[in-house]
Structure formats: structure tokens, C-alpha cells
Amino acid sequence: MIVRARAWFLGGLLVSAAACGGGEDEGVTPPAQTGGRSGSNGVAGTAGAGGTGAAGSPSAAGTAGAAGTAGSTAGAAGLAGIGGLAGAAGLAGMAGAGGAGAAGTGGASAGAAGAGCVDPLALAPTDTPAAKLSETGLYADIAKREIHARARYFQPRYPLWSDGVEKQRWIYYSACSKIDTQDQDHWSFPVGTRLWKEFKKGGKLLETRLIHRYGAGPDDFTFVSYQWRADQSDADLAEHSGVQNVLGTDHDIPGGAQCQNCHSKLPEHVLGFGAIQLSHQLAGETMKSLSEAGRLTVPSPGGFSIPGGALASAAVGYLHSNCGNCHNDTGIGVAMRLRALTTDKQPSEVGAIATTVGVPAEMFSAPGITALVQPGVPDASAVWFRMSHRNDATLQSVQMPPIGTEIVDPQGVALVRDWILSMGGAAGGGGAAGAGGTSGAGGVGGSAGKGG
């Protein structure tokens, strides 16, 4: 399965967003110019020795000659060092012999290690997926399941429900680059970034997915899946249409359209590696480790939390991961925001509360449903009702999320049910049980009351 967007080229050269050695293609330094010239066709002018380049348009940066300074563009170009390429309008600077280029906006990374940075483990960006998983850079030795040192393990604080399969995740981006975290709710990843997610069930490896940013354009990403062989020796690039019941299990590899459906609703295209998801003390990369290692442009070692008590924060976090990828300010055209934001400081500011509690369910109709979230009444709440069902002959187009799952998450459903019950109000459906008991609809238990 291959999903890709367009590549961005300048004069036949794929523009990298890393600020050192051209991103992942190390050891390439733009030649110094001996005389300044004006930019044309969207490319800023080059500066000669001691000179200043003329400004171009916001689409690209200019190159600086020896001791020269790159021309500023309308998109706010960065300054390059000697022989460097300045970043602008989403293109990162490439470090020359004298220093690291400064990052542009919207997709570029900042210079990380200064002059002469070389990453010996760097992977070159490419818009052509490898035929086998062993060729993607994840493994040092796939036969021994030895993960390469370049791939960093991480865990999201609020995992996406995937019908109970075991999952592991890794990320790679060059040691000579940083993630642009000026907007903590929408990170911009350096060109060359790769993220892998492995799916396993019953001890058998089934699938490994790969997201790769191959260019500086906002949609320069590929989304591919690799299907593991029956002998578990390697995994091969899966069909674009997807694969059903992999290796005799009930796990399905999604088709390309499904990948786009989930990953196209947010500008960063990456869903599980961000400020809220990495604000924890679990094993692997965290906000603290990334900040202390200088891998973020705006370090935030203390991380971020979702406002509210433990139950509310956990429920909102679950909705953030399982629903917020579509239900957000940049997603589908529904006025319901289930994606938590780092700027939420009070419970009343949290979208999963402000845009759902007591809000009529105008776009969904089912017997007994009165609101998106009806305080104290899960069975009258569209959010809870839809996540607690999967489509069948009598309930077509009811389930949420609509794709990627065929089995209800019992723990997630119980968590959101308890959260809604904690808001008070009259009990409905199965009702809230008295002290010591639980009851509920659909086989999911409700919270215990105080003797009611």
C-alpha cells in the first residue's frame, strides 16, 4: 500500500527541511557565489562575498556566498552561514561551511548542531517506498529483531484502540535537525522523518506501518504498510487496496484511502507523536527527554496536562486519541472538538466538554439520544452510544470511529460512561446502580451511585 503526495523540487534538487548538510543528504554544501544576483521565479537571489542577495518570492530561499547574507523573502527567510542556504516559507536552511541555516515556517526544522554537523546514521529522504521493511532503516538486523540505533522508541500517553492488537512505535529524524514545536498543538517534522508502528497478535507479527516525510511541501508524506511473511523473516510492501485477515487473524491492513482519511485532517499528518501524547513518564521518548536533548525548537520538559480531575482527564485523553484526529478545528466540518489542546487551561475550555455537554445531537438520530453528551445519562449521549456500537444490519453508519476497528473497546467505553455519569443528572438506559453495584446498556457497566 502506497499513499503519497507531491514532491517539492527546486532546480531539480529535492529540498530538505533539516538545517544541516541538506537534511538527510549529508556532506553536500551549496557552492559560494562570487557576485550577488536577483532572484527569479520564486527563488531568492544569491549573495557574493560581502554582498547581500535581492529578495525573491515567499516560495523559496536564497543561497549565501562566502561571508554573504541571504536575501529576505516575504515569507520571512532565515539567515544562512557562510555558504549556507537560508530557510523561508516552510523550507529549512541547509548548513554551509560556516554555520547552520535558520528554519523557515510551516515545515522546516531549525539548525540543531551548528557548523559541520554530520549524522552518521542519516537516511536519505525518498518518495519511493522500499519493497521490504528491512530496507526502511528500522532494523539493524531484522532476523534478530534488532532495532537500529537511529530509531527511537516511544509510547503515546493515550493509545489509539486497534481491536486489542499489541503495538510498538519508533521514530527517526536526523540528529542534525529539530522538530519545529513553535505551535505545540501542531508540530512540524523535519524532512526525512520516519515513524513506524508495529502490529502483533498472539505473538505473531502482522503488519508494520511507515509514515515518511520526503519533502518540504505540506503534503510531502508517504503512508505505506508492510505485511509480515508467514515465516516472520521480513515484511513486504502491502497492496494499496489493503489486506483482509492478515495471516489468518481478524486484523486488516488498511487501504490507502483509509490512511489518507485519518492522517489528512491535521496539518502535521502525524497523530501519536506530539506534546500531549508525550507528556508522561513512560519508557521511550517523552517531552522531557526530547527537550533536554535539544530535539525541539521550543523545549517544554514539564509537558502538558489535560485540565480536570483524573477521570475527566483520562476520558478526554481517550477521545483526543480515538476521535480528535477527525473532530478538531481543522478536521471535518462538525462543530464538535474532541482533540485536546495544550492551550486548554480550564475544564471549561476543553473542547470535549465545551462543544458536547448539553449540546443537541443535531446530526445524529437514534431512539433516546438527546445530546452529544447528556450529563449523567450515557445512554442518551450520542458520543457514548456511537463508540459503544459497531456497524451491523440494524445499525448502519453508527459506529465511531467509522474505520480501523471492528470490535468495541470495553475499557474505553466504560471510561467514557463513568465520566458522563460523574457529571450528575438523571440516569437513563440501564441507569446508575446503587452502592456496590453496576448496571448499564449494551453490556457495559455504569458507575456506582451513592445509594440511589
* Cα 452 to Cα 450: distance, rounded to the nearest angstrom: 6
* Cα 159 to Cα 322: distance, rounded to the nearest angstrom: 8
Cis ω on the peptide bond leading into residue 401 (within 30° of 0)?
Answer: yes
What is the C-alpha end-to-end distance of the chain, expressed in Å? 54
Residue 176, C-alpha cell as written in the block: 542534525
Please state the rounded mean pLDDT for residues 230-248.
96
Q: How far is CA 234 from CA 131, 141, 143, in A?
A: 11, 11, 8
Reported as a single tens digit per residue, the pLDDT across 286-324 is: 999 999 999 999 999 999 999 999 999 999 999 999 999
Reported as a single tens digit per residue, the pLDDT across 359-369 is: 999 888 888 99
| pLDDT band, very low/low/confident/very high, at 105 (cuts 50, 70, 90) | very low
Q: What is the DSSP letter of 423?
A: T
- 97-100: list long-range contacts, CB under 8 Å, 24+ apart: 97/29, 98/67, 100/19, 100/20
- The predicted pLDDT at position 265 comes to 81
**Mean pLDDT over each residue of the chain, to the nearest integer:** 76
- The predicted pLDDT at position 423 comes to 96
Q: Report which of residues 212 and 335 the model is more confident about.
A: 212
| pLDDT band, very low/low/confident/very high, at 99 (cuts 50, 70, 90) | very low
- The predicted pLDDT at position 100 comes to 36
Reported as a single tens digit per residue, the pLDDT across 400-435 is: 988 889 999 999 999 999 999 999 863 333 333 333
| pLDDT band, very low/low/confident/very high, at 264 (cuts 50, 70, 90) | confident
Q: Which residues pair with 433 in a beta bridge?
A: 448
Of 101, 98, 51, 55, nearest to 78 (Cα)? 101
Structural domain boundaries in the chain: 133-270, 308-452
- The predicted pLDDT at position 425 comes to 63
Reported as a single tens digit per residue, the pLDDT across 23-58 is: 333 333 333 333 333 333 333 333 333 333 333 333
